[in-house]
Every structure is written in C-alpha cells, then in structure tokens.
Amino acid sequence: MNEESPFKGQSGWRRVVNAFHYSLAGLRAALQAEHAFRQEVLLAALLIPLALLLAPSGTARALMVGSVLLVLVVELLNSAIEAVVDRVSLDRHPLAKRAKDTGSAAVFLALINVVAVWLCVLVD
C-alpha cells in the first residue's frame, strides 16, 4: 500500500520554512530531553574551535569539523529511534532492545570516527 502521510501538505517556500521550524523544534527537544545530546553539543563546542585552530589545511578542518557534526547527527537519529520505540511500547522486547542497541552502536562508531579522523589529521 502506497499512501502518503496526511501530515504532508505544503510545497515550495512554505515547505522550506516549515521544515526549518520543525528542525529547530527537534534541536530544542533534543537539548531539553537528551542528556547525551547535550554532552555531545558541549564536546562539539570545544572541538570545533580547536579544529579551526589546529587543522593544517581547509580539507583537514572540514574533516575534523565534519566528524564532530556527524556525531550530533547520529545522536539525533538515535534519539528519534529511541523515542519511536518507547512510543510503541515501554515493555521489554528483544526487537526494541536491538533497535536501541543498534542506535547506540552507531553513535559509538561516530565517536570512534572522530578519534580516527583527528589522529590522522594531527599526526600526519
């Protein structure tokens, strides 16, 4: 069955404006409700200026900053997965655990990526 969501509606500039507002609402919600996201935002606030100072080239800066921003993106997606799982049911279920653990693993890999990228850039 290929049904469109009844919540889709606007197009053109109105859609862009709405999307911007929804994005800000999502960031606000994550900052208010997600402790891990707040920690990673603090980490980004420290690492991004450091990357701008330490990186030897524009490409290196982009890689260092991009790796940090990727952690925030993956954490937002992980938080969304957890919210949907909790919305469906708060009961313990192996599939719910798998979804949450997989999201957590994605964040972990994104953090490992930060370390690897920063080491590659700074040791080179």
Question: What average pLDDT does the segment 68-94 reach?
Answer: 96
**38 Cβ partners below 8 Å, 6+ apart?**
31
Single out the catalytic residue among 4, 40, 75, 82.
75
Catalytic residue flag (residue 4)? no
Residue 6's pLDDT is 65
| Predicted confidence (pLDDT) at residue 109 exceeds the cutoff of 80 | yes
- CATH code for the part of the protein at 35-123: 1.10.287.3610
Residue 1's pLDDT is 56
- Give the pTM: 0.89
Q: Note whether 38 and 71 are within 8 A (CB).
A: no
Residue 12's pLDDT is 85
Summarize pLDDT for 5-39 with one digit per residue, the tens.
766 777 888 889 999 999 999 999 999 999 999 99
